[in-house]
Amino acid sequence: MNTAVDFNALKSRQMAAWASGDYAVIGTTLQLVGELLAEACDLRCDERVLDVAAGNGNATLAAARRGCRVTSTDYVAALLERAEERTRAEHLPVIFQVADAEELPFADESFDAVLSTFGVMFAPDQAQAAAELARVCRPGGRIGLANWTPEGFIGQMFKTLGRHLPPPAGVQPPSLWGTEAHLQSLFGEHAADIAITRRLFNFRYRSAAHFIEVFRTWYGPVHKAFAALPSESAVALEHDLVDLTNSLNRAGPESLVVPSEYLEVVVTRR
């Protein structure tokens, strides 16, 4: 970790990025990931479950649907509001609380399971975030994560964004959470076991242009990247994203289906 990095300033910029657009437009398409993670963690009725960096609540809903007592957290209140709308629609009792993944406001060993789907991996102080997940999980409990890999589509998309708009110096890329070695370094001392399964999520859109239009409009990091670039640079970014998306499309010229690799991780707390 580079102690020269101003994590508070970085988090403020991140919060503004995730609050821009409307992540729920994309997030709801990822619900399957939350359901699979809930099964991988073998969640039981009445277990205490914490969803960290919950976004619009995919893991929250999956756990609540299994009868768990769920607390759902994110540091962007607007995202939790969309999650709360979803739980109200299904009459699911969930506690929502604004909270920073790096400073969780809960006592040690408060939860039977701690989940995060494509959320905590974006915390700038990765070691601190991992330590907080472990701290609030009871011994024998499970920490369940879904993390994009560096080699997968979303990992490559962030690399493409980084070529056009370089990330802050000294900050580890979020996609490190999608590597087994880094997960071992983050959780090894806290873990009795780390089970890792490689999975694919299929992004389904009409075309590369449609995918980019949706992400450019609603997905905070992409939305902010395009907004920050001058027009010629934005055109170049769009061109590179079209090339990347088309290169991975397995649906042929009439549609778009792009598999994106992620790691499904279950850490059993020591």
d(CA 251, CA 205): 10
Does some domain include residue 255? no
User: Looking at this protein, which amino acid is placed at residue 202?
Assistant: N
Q: If residue 198 lies in a helix (H) or strand (E), which one and from where to where?
A: strand 191-205
Which residues 6+ apart lie within 8 Å of 142 measured at CB? Answer: 41, 42, 112, 113, 114, 266, 267, 268, 269
How many domains does one find in the chain?
Answer: 1
pLDDT for the residue 168 = 86
pLDDT for the residue 140 = 98
Which residues constitute the domain of residue 52? 7-202+260-269
pLDDT for the residue 259 = 98
Does some domain include residue 70? yes
Count the residues in the chain.
270
pLDDT for the residue 246 = 98
Does some domain include residue 134? yes
Q: What is the pLDDT along the chain (270 residues), one digit of tens a residue?
A: 445 689 889 999 899 999 988 999 999 999 999 999 999 999 999 999 999 999 999 999 999 999 999 999 999 999 999 999 999 999 999 999 999 999 999 999 999 999 999 999 999 999 999 999 999 999 999 999 999 999 999 999 999 999 999 998 889 999 999 999 999 999 999 999 999 999 999 999 999 999 999 999 999 999 999 999 999 999 999 999 999 999 999 999 999 999 999 999 999 999
Measuring CA to CA, which residue among 200, 150, 169, 160 is closest to residue 3? 169
Buried b (16+ CB within 10 A) or exposed e, 189-218: ebbeebebeebebebebebbeebbebbbeb
Does some domain include residue 162? yes
d(CA 73, CA 84): 11
Does some domain include residue 235? no
Does some domain include residue 142? yes
d(CA 76, CA 6): 19
Whole-number Cα distances in Å, 93 to 66, 67, 88: 12, 9, 8
Does some domain include residue 68? yes
CATH number of the domain where residue 163 is located: 3.40.50.150
Does some domain include residue 251? no
Q: If residue 190 lies in a helix (H) or strand (E), which one and from where to where?
A: none
